[in-house]
Amino acid sequence: MPWEFRSDCPIYAQLIEKIEQKICSGVYPPGTKLPPVRDLAQEAAVNPNTMQRALARLEDVGLLYTHRTSGRFVTEDTDLIRQLKNRLVQEHIRDFLEKMRQLGFGREEILAAISRIMEESKDE
Amino acid sequence: MSNYILECKDLTKTFGRVKAIDNVTLSIPQGCIVGLLGPNASGKTTLIKLCNELLTPTSGEIYIAGLKPGVETKKLVSYLPERTYLNDWMKVADIINFFSDFYADFNKEKAYDMLKRLNLNPGDRLKTMSKGTKEKIQLILVMSREARLYLLDEPIGGVDPAARDYILQTILGNYDQSATIIISTHLISDIETILEHVIFLKEGRVVLYKTVDEIREESGKSVDSLFREVFKC
């Protein structure tokens, strides 16, 4: 299945997000070798040059590194991965809070709703 | 050799009083996938036919890898026309042999591999096939050549969305990344993510030539929505 993309922002930026998610969730654990650009591009159904650009950006920030002959790997720097997790969690929660505010919920209401819903979905 | 696989300089093609291609200057580099987009009668097919020497320019110049379109460039260019030209009574396997006799760069193994991936039987005759299946066969034949430039005129119009994804992935998995693919289509949203550059043609002129991500970055819109805006009726 091709990956899903939103229409409002560049594809390479969305590729970065998706690969970050995979690193964060452990689909790509620290030190794993990534598939070749072409295979990744094919899996996502995106242009190989666009995929290449996304991977290069992730290399710039250190989340990926290239080993001259053997390919591209996920960083083994667990601090860096922890920072990534922190950043993603902040981004998602800020988005969520913004939406709740737009719906007119206050701080206490949001917290109450979160604990109630988490309690309700415990058994699932 | 030129870094550009396709170059047009002040290219014009007129049919009677109609300017089908109107003073187009354009350079397309090697190693990219380009969408040639425009409404009906915007000149997409005319431009592709000029690349193939099926039409000759009224004025201006056109070069494929630095050469004027002719016998030599046909070795470099793999072309999918908008309509089929294959003999209905032939079996797929016969057509594959035919292509492999005809084109030095035809890779049989690739053709059979793609047939298998798309679940098509080499023993079937074309006339027993649906429109969509015929389109798949033609595309497989064209993509099985190891060409420098692929010109695909409306390649996925007749196939269902599920098969479209599969075909696009097949294209992505099979082309040599130093080659260039030019795809003309109306089905922008289906192929947008596999394109690197897009060209908007309007009444024979290039009104936009940018990368997909430039468009998305600058306008905050997909190429599909921008197209609908630019060509609003």
Q: Tell me, yes or no, if A4 comes closer than 8 A to chain B by beta carbon.
A: no
pLDDT at B119 over 80: yes
Q: Name the CATH architecture for the domain at B4-230.
A: 3-Layer(aba) Sandwich (3.40)
Q: How far is residue B136's CA from residue B165's CA, in Å, rounded to a whole number?
A: 12
Number of H helices, E strands in chain B: 9, 9
Q: Give the model's pLDDT for residue B150.
A: 95
Q: Which amino acid is residue B61, in one-letter code?
A: E
ipTM of the modeled complex: 0.81
Q: Which residue of A has its CA nearest to B190?
A: A45
Contact B126, B89 (CB under 8 A): yes
pLDDT at A98 over 90: yes
Contact A16, A52 (CB under 8 A): no
Size of interface A-B (CB pairs under 8 A): 63
Q: Tell me, yes or no, if A10 comes closer than 8 A to chain B by beta carbon.
A: yes
Of B193, B216, B225, the CB nearest to A9: B216
pLDDT in tens, B172-191: 887 888 899 999 988 898 89
Q: How far is residue B168's CA from residue B147's CA, in Å, rounded to a whole number?
A: 17
What is the DSSP annotation of A60-98?
HTTSEEEETTTEEEE---HHHHHHHHHHHHHHHHHHHHH
Q: Which amino acid is residue B60, in one-letter code?
A: G
Pairwise CB contact (< 8 Å): B222 & A7: yes
Q: Give the model's pLDDT for residue B71.
A: 92
pLDDT in tens, B35-70: 999 998 899 999 999 999 999 999 999 999 999 999
pLDDT at A124 over 70: no
State residue B26 phi and psi, 5-degree precision.
-160, 140
pLDDT at B1 over 60: no
Lowest mean per-residue pLDDT among A49-53, B10-14, B82-86, B193-197: B82-86
